[in-house]
Structure 1
Amino acid sequence: MKKCFQSSLIVLLGLCLFAGMLPAAIMAVENPSVSYRTHVQNDGWQEFVTDGIMSGTSGRSLRLEGIEVKLDAPDYDLGITYQTHIQNIGWEADTDRGWQSNGAMSGTEGLSYRLEAIQINLTGADAAGFDVYYQVHAQNMGWLGWAKNGESSGTAGYSYRLEGIHIVIVPKGGNPPTGTVDQDAPFIERKSVLGNLMIQTTGSDFNENAMGLDRVEIVANSGDGAIVLKSGNQSGVYTSNIFNANSFTKAVLSWDTDTPDGTLVQVEARVCENAVDANGLSTENWSDWLSWGRWGTTINRSSGVGVTDGPVAKMDVDTLVVKDGKTANKIQYRVILHSGNAGVTPTVRLISVALRNANPGQGITKVFTDNPDLSNLPILNVPQLSQMVREPSIADSICSPTSVAMILNYYGTPVQPEGAAWGSYDYGYQDFGNWPFNTAYASSFGYHAYVDYSTIEGLKREIAGGHPAAVAVAYKNSASVNANLPVIDGAPIRSTYGHLIVVCGFTQENGTEYIIINDPAASSDAGVRVRYRLDQFAAAWAESGNITYIIH
């Protein structure tokens, strides 16, 4: 029987070959092949390439503007669909363009718009049997890691062009070709600063928004996250991704740290100026990395250390200022950690970025993500401390640390104004009023503390949550005082061009709204608690851009 079956099969094969055909069960099946071509700046449409060959250019800094992708898969029920993220347009699926498929163009032609990212999917009954892999070369990033099956590949939101692409199809579970990979991630999403404030404090914040971890790592820290030196290292650098932002003229970075003896941190940022090229297209003009100086609780901390000036922006002690009245719309920060002792590391628990646009009519709207009840606000029992009865040699200069001391004592941390003053003193600027140095000092006791450009609503939210806040004001206490300053009736000193006070609550009397303040400029502790008309306070606070110390 066995021989008879073999003989019959041979005869059958012979007949089939004679007829020019094979049985379906043993017919040779071709694997799917993918073909693609790109429209390249200055070059136009290139010829189609297949199965992992690069389309685009290398080393010429030319943008991809369009792409067509198609399959050669006659033996399968298989199709391909794709969309690109296009300059000035965004993802095609978010517009009436929609996804493209089977050789249609994705992108633009004749508009000089760059492609910034791409997604590709397989369709059809046989799609479950294959994976489509794709890899892009992105401006300033190089070759990104392989993406597959609809994942994003590229740098949407960075304004970086795609310059080249590889596409391959492999059987399900197979691997893409090995090759050059400059960045492991297939897609680096640029996130945005919400409103005018961004706070990074969790492990996911630091991990997901990291561009570089140089001899540092992210560790769990009491439920949050922290940047520390890797074991065996005495210096390291954490570099964040770039963040998009509303147009701003000023930025204040602040930080929460633990700096054991012999350790310090240095916080820096760079910003990208709003600029256009000769064709009216947006272009990137980055500042230098600018430094807030060196911070530590056991060192002579100092601003003015590192680069503090450049063609795009400069440091004004504690504030990064975009030059010439221009604005920036991107920001990136980095934190440099140092230790003089092997095995001892500083810990960075929070980084905050507060932005302000000081150009008339261009202020940034504050964004809140919740909706608390702001009626019947309490008046917080914040201890009253006058700076004027403290150490005479520094008494008239320590409004900022005295305000911090009042808040810390309210929370149960017994700190004297003189201790807060020397704990936050800026040995470079030789002053007690460095904003992020004051909040960093508060953070050294374990608090979350940062600098914000806030609003009246923001202050009411703090009070509703049981949190006093320190604010920077400039005022005169009478219209008769010869100074170009807002008037606050009843203020304890004739005039000040820069002064920190503590907001303790709000009240209304006879239809007039008042804000309850601890003003450390009073001549005695008993005289510190005052109330100011809210409209007068608001004008005085606006002189600083609404600078606020938030301490929780």
Structure 2
Amino acid sequence: MSRVEQPSRRALLAAAVAAAVAGGAVPAVAHAAPIGGTGDGTADPDRAAARRPVDYHAWTTLQDWRHGTARGTRLVAGARPGVAIGTPAGTADYTDPHTGTTAAWEYATWTSPVHRLAVPATEVIASWNAHTPTGTWIEVELKGGYSDGTDTPWYVMGRWTAGDGDQDIRRTSVDDQSDGRSSIWTDTFSIDDASTGLRLTSYRLRLTLHRRPGARTTPTVWRLGAMGSDIPDRFTVPASIPRHAGELRVPRYSQEIHKGQYPEYDNGGEAWCSPTSSQMIVEYWGGRLTAEQLAWVDPSYADPQVCHAARYTYDHQYAGCGNWPFNAAYAATFEGIQGVVTRLGSLTDLETLIAAGIPAITSQSFLEEELTGSGYGTSGHLMTVIGFTADGDVIANDPASDDDEAVRRVYKRREWENIWLRTKRYNASGKVVSGTGGVCYLYFPARPSARQRKALAALGVR
């Protein structure tokens, strides 16, 4: 995110699409109190799912993994069931486009059953949670079924590893994927021309797990899922009614104090809204980095963990730290944390999460005058919603602040809800460009409490 209204690479890609379509204990909650609606701020999961234009589905249980097709993978039981390399299916060369290095890798695959979307979709975003020791990596692919009975090709949704050392590939999205009817824009599958009525009605996901030949280490994937949605074009959205007031004690980090630091990661801190927001919530859930992990950071830099988050969410093809699934996957590298990318439908959804002790990271774009008190305009920015005032206004940890102390902001409910949920807006030049339509990162415990499970289920996340 930049504090001035200038297009990010993701915004330019999204604009092109727009043009084509004319357990765990809850950390402390301060002064929480219901102010209307349901007493606990939650909703009935089945009723909420029935009216939601979003379908998030994931494979997470041992039974889920058993239903897939395995070639060289084995099941991993335990508290976090998943899949890992058993007897490799073969060996293949991979030339890393960002280092030029060609190396041989053992691989194994797991392919999901077909998931039929409850909402025929114009967009799909995959996300995953995995452990990738040094010298291992994963590839996530999607193959969809169109509403006319034909299929997409296998699309690469990401090549990912937690590390970036000499034994690792460089994590990357893959550009220039299209069949003339749909395309991949960094991390998002999109129907090229939604006005034709073409939709994605089903999909399969395929995991390919890699390791160095002869190695005994293996990547392990615990969660694999995707969010499909069909959000109508809109410049404004209906106003929601405030239902819950409360504020979560989430650490505050500014991206702006890192301006100029490590410019090899998207020109330094001014563009680090996504990893800065991710690090705030990682630490809220108890995730901590060791001195050894932070030893590479210049000791004169404040909040070195933000520099670390930027480095380890960086997408070498997108050339930025704002790849949505890569941020969720980074969060899930911390013990006891899960991460997903989905869409929410209103501030009532966020109130449901806050009431259960779950903060959320939201994506929005706006002119300075559209968000009172922001002091900037942006073509794409992530911030962390941590609560609501008694009047229903949004309390956000906004990393686009001059220092850590200034990160906590209160934004007007109506303004904030609209800039987050709309899919169309006017930029500073008066041109119609796209909005993110309620995109949200959700990080939550690997073993959520009953209340947290109910809140997540009400939003379609299980």
TM-score calculated relative to the size of structure 2: 0.67
SS of alignment partner, residue 541 of structure 1: helix
Distance in 1 (alpha carbons) for counterparts of 2:326 and 2:269 = 18
Q: CA deviation at 1:359?
A: 4.1
Kindly indicate which of the two structures has a greater share of residues assigned to strand.
1
Distance in 2 (alpha carbons) for counterparts of 1:194 and 1:248 = 9
Are the counterparts in 2 of residues 239 and 335 from structure 1 also a CA contact under 8 Å? yes
Distance in 2 (alpha carbons) for counterparts of 1:241 and 1:506 = 40
CA spacing shift, 1:303–1:466, aligned 2, 3 Å: same
Q: Where does residue 385 of structure 1 map in the other structure?
A: 253
Distance in 2 (alpha carbons) for counterparts of 1:194 and 1:546 = 11
1:346 and 2:201 equivalent? no
SS of alignment partner, residue 461 of structure 1: helix
Q: Where does residue 421 of structure 1 map in the other structure?
A: 310
Decide which structure has the larger Cα Rg and report it.
1
Post-superposition Cα deviations, 1:343-381, rounded to whole Å, max 9, x if no partner, equal 1110000012111214448xxxxxxxxxxxx95442001
Q: Where does residue 500 of structure 1 map in the other structure?
A: 382
Are the counterparts in 1 of residues 174 and 186 from structure 2 also a CA contact under 8 Å? no
Are the counterparts in 1 of residues 371 and 411 from structure 2 also a CA contact under 8 Å? yes
Q: CA deviation at 1:306?
A: 8.4
Distance in 1 (alpha carbons) for counterparts of 2:312 and 2:134 = 14
1:207 and 2:207 equivalent? no
Q: CA deviation at 1:300?
A: 4.4
Q: CA deviation at 1:475?
A: 1.4
Distance in 1 (alpha carbons) for counterparts of 2:408 and 2:175 = 41
Q: Where does residue 13 of structure 2 map in the other structure?
A: none
Amino acid at match of 1:271: G
Are the counterparts in 2 of residues 391 and 418 from structure 1 also a CA contact under 8 Å? no
What pairs with 1:353-502 in structure 2 (closer than 5 Å)?
Answer: 353-360=226-233, 376-392=244-260, 393=263, 394-414=268-288, 416-446=305-335, 447-455=337-345, 456-478=347-369, 487-493=370-376, 495-502=377-384
Amino acid at match of 1:220: A
Q: Where does residue 438 of structure 2 map in the other structure?
A: 546
CA spacing shift, 1:538–1:376, aligned 2, 3 Å: closer
Q: Where does residue 107 of structure 2 map in the other structure?
A: 235
SS of alignment partner, residue 498 of structure 1: strand
Are the counterparts in 2 of residues 264 and 346 from structure 1 also a CA contact under 8 Å? yes
Post-superposition Cα deviations, 1:214-243, rounded to whole Å, max 9, x if no partner, equal 111222132x31011114663111111111
Are the counterparts in 2 of residues 258 and 347 from structure 1 also a CA contact under 8 Å? yes
Of the structure 1 ranges 463-472 and 253-262, higher mean CA displacement relative to structure 2 is found in 463-472
Q: Where does residue 271 of structure 1 map in the other structure?
A: 144
Amino acid at match of 2:85: L
What pairs with 1:306-317 in structure 2 (closer than 5 Å)?
Answer: 308-317=177-186
Amino acid at match of 1:551: Y
Of 283, 289, 293, the match for 2:154? 289
SS of alignment partner, residue 441 of structure 1: helix
CA spacing shift, 1:254–1:427, aligned 2, 3 Å: same
Amino acid at match of 1:318: D
Q: CA deviation at 1:422?
A: 0.3
1:247 and 2:120 equivalent? yes
Distance in 1 (alpha carbons) for counterparts of 2:365 and 2:115 = 32
Distance in 2 (alpha carbons) for counterparts of 1:515 and 1:304 = 33
1:258 and 2:131 equivalent? yes
Distance in 1 (alpha carbons) for counterparts of 2:176 and 2:61 = 29
Q: Where does residue 77 of structure 2 map in the other structure?
A: 220
Are the counterparts in 1 of residues 244 and 351 from structure 2 also a CA contact under 8 Å? no
Amino acid at match of 1:405: Q
Are the counterparts in 1 of residues 81 and 222 from structure 2 also a CA contact under 8 Å? yes
Distance in 2 (alpha carbons) for counterparts of 1:307 and 1:334 = 19
Are the counterparts in 2 of residues 288 and 307 from structure 1 also a CA contact under 8 Å? no
Amino acid at match of 2:108: G
CA spacing shift, 1:232–1:318, aligned 2, 3 Å: closer
CA spacing shift, 1:424–1:460, aligned 2, 3 Å: same
Amino acid at match of 2:393: Y
Amino acid at match of 2:271: S
Q: CA deviation at 1:294?
A: 1.0
CA spacing shift, 1:263–1:389, aligned 2, 3 Å: same
SS of alignment partner, residue 379 of structure 1: strand
Are the counterparts in 2 of residues 251 and 354 from structure 1 also a CA contact under 8 Å? yes
Q: CA deviation at 1:307?
A: 7.5
Count of matched residue pairs? 325
CA spacing shift, 1:225–1:353, aligned 2, 3 Å: same
Distance in 2 (alpha carbons) for counterparts of 1:213 and 1:492 = 52
1:536 and 2:401 equivalent? no
Distance in 2 (alpha carbons) for counterparts of 1:342 and 1:232 = 11
Are the counterparts in 1 of residues 56 and 225 from structure 2 also a CA contact under 8 Å? yes
CA spacing shift, 1:215–1:265, aligned 2, 3 Å: same
SS of alignment partner, residue 348 of structure 2: helix
Amino acid at match of 1:451: V
CA spacing shift, 1:194–1:243, aligned 2, 3 Å: farther
Q: Where does residue 29 of structure 2 map in the other structure?
A: none
Amino acid at match of 1:522: S
Amino acid at match of 1:290: Y
Distance in 2 (alpha carbons) for counterparts of 1:550 and 1:294 = 21
Are the counterparts in 2 of residues 249 and 322 from structure 1 also a CA contact under 8 Å? yes
Q: Where does residue 76 of structure 1 map in the other structure?
A: none
Distance in 2 (alpha carbons) for counterparts of 1:256 and 1:301 = 18
Amino acid at match of 2:77: A
Are the counterparts in 2 of residues 470 and 549 from structure 1 also a CA contact under 8 Å? yes
Distance in 2 (alpha carbons) for counterparts of 1:241 and 1:423 = 31
Distance in 2 (alpha carbons) for counterparts of 1:454 and 1:488 = 20
Post-superposition Cα deviations, 1:77-134, rounded to whole Å, max 9, x if no partner, equal xxxxxxxxxxxxxxxxxxxxxxxxxxxxxxxxxxxxxxxxxxxxxxxxxxxxxxxxxx
Of 184, 193, 198, the match for 1:324? 193
What pairs with 1:25-174 in structure 2 (closer than 5 Å)?
Answer: none
Amino-acid identity (%): 28
Q: CA deviation at 1:531?
A: 0.8
SS of alignment partner, residue 413 of structure 1: coil
Q: CA deviation at 1:195?
A: 4.8
Amino acid at match of 1:490: G
Q: CA deviation at 1:194?
A: 9.9
Are the counterparts in 2 of residues 356 and 545 from structure 1 also a CA contact under 8 Å? no
Aligned CA RMSD, in angstroms, stands at 2.0
